[in-house]
């Protein structure tokens, strides 16, 4: 027997099971009483836990909605900032327009002033006005009124350029020709090749106009006058051409060569007609001397067509008389 139970009497030991049963019964009663008294609290706790769970879910949903709202708000703020920037830019443009109102008014009147300069034969001033509106239009490309004025000015500029090209057919000094070519280059309407061709064709038209006024008193006098005009005209065309277009290819430019060749062929045709119309051998000799002198002059410029003159003579009626 354990030492713990050695101190108990027999009666106590016999009554111990009964005491334990009473203790157990008391504990059961206390537990049932506790369950009965705390049941409502337990139910409320469960309900509160469910409510808290629902609230947490609702908070999560609200947080998600708030995140979406924040994204939309950020986009809206960006749009508002962009709108504000555009408003500032527009305001600056409007302010600049009012500040430069006098200049804008002057710019818009440039096409009219250019037409006045063209009519008054002031091409340089007209091109200066065009340069001014062109710079202004580049500075303010968004101003439709300025762009419209620029387009109108381009039409006037093209007319001025054409007037300068037409002047090549008139009586002009070399200094005037140089000024016209310089202005045409400044206008920028024609390429360098087009300017060369325009100059050559213009001077050829001038030469043809002068020859159309020759008298026809006799075949020799007509041919002498023709030779004089050709000699002076082609000499000026060649020398002025090289002075105006003094690039590396000026001497070998096909434009000048073809023009001189064409005029030389025309001259030889005129020589053939003159030799056929002349009735005196001395007149024929004088005509040939003038033609050979003219061709020798062209030869010094790099265009030797003496063989063409000789060919016309040997195929004329005078070839057998010499």
At 102 the pLDDT is 62
At 97 the pLDDT is 58
Structure tokens at 225: 């006058």
At 251 the pLDDT is 52
Please list the rounded mean pLDDT of every run of 10 residues in the chain (322 residues): 59 75 80 72 76 80 79 80 80 64 77 94 95 90 89 96 96 94 95 94 94 88 94 94 76 82 94 93 92 90 88 86 60
Domain positions in the chain: 191-315
At 2 the pLDDT is 46
For residues 265 and 308, the answer to whether their CB atoms sit within 8 Å is yes
Structure tokens at 220: 């020799």
At 127 the pLDDT is 95
Task: State how far the alpha carbon of 101 is from the alpha carbons of 98, 137, 155, in Å.
Answer: 5, 15, 25
At 250 the pLDDT is 52
Task: State how far the alpha carbon of 7 is from the alpha carbons of 3, 16, 18, 133, in Å.
Answer: 7, 14, 19, 130
For residues 242 and 250, the answer to whether their CB atoms sit within 8 Å is yes
């Amino acid at each position: 027997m354990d030492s713990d139970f050695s101190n108990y009497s027999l009666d106590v030991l016999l009554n111990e099971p009964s005491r334990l049963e009473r203790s157990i019964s008391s504990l059961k009663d206390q537990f049932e009483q506790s369950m009965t008294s705390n049941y409502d609290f337990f139910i409320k706790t469960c309900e509160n836990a469910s409510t808290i769970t629902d609230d947490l879910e609702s908070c999560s949903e609200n947080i998600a909605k708030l995140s979406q709202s924040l994204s939309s708000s950020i986009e809206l703020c960006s749009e508002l900032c962009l709108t504000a920037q555009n408003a500032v830019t527009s305001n600056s443009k409007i302010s600049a327009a009012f500040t430069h109102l006098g200049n804008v008014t002057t710019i818009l009147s440039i096409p009219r002033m250019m037409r006045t300069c063209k009519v008054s034969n002031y091409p340089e001033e007209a091109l200066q006005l065009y340069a001014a509106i062109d710079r202004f239009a580049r500075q303010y490309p968004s101003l439709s009124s300025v762009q419209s004025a620029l387009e109108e000015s381009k039409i006037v500029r093209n007319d001025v350029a054409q007037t300068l090209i037409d002047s090549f057919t008139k009586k002009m000094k070399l200094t005037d020709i140089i000024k016209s070519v310089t202005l045409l280059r400044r206008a920028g309407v024609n390429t360098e090749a087009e300017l060369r061709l325009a100059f050559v064709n213009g001077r050829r038209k001038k030469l043809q106009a002068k020859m159309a006024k020759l008298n026809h008193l006799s075949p020799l006098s007509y041919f002498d006058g023709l030779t004089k005009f050709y000699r002076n005209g082609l000499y000026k065309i060649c020398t002025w051409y090289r002075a105006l277009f003094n690039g590396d290819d000026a001497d070998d430019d096909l434009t000048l060569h073809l023009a001189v060749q064409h005029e030389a062929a025309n001259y030889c045709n005129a020589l053939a007609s003159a030799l056929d119309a002349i009735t005196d051998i001395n007149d024929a000799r004088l005509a040939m001397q003038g033609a050979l002198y003219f061709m020798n002059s062209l030869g010094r410029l790099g265009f030797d067509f003496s063989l063409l003159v000789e060919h016309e003579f040997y195929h004329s009626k005078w070839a057998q008389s010499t």
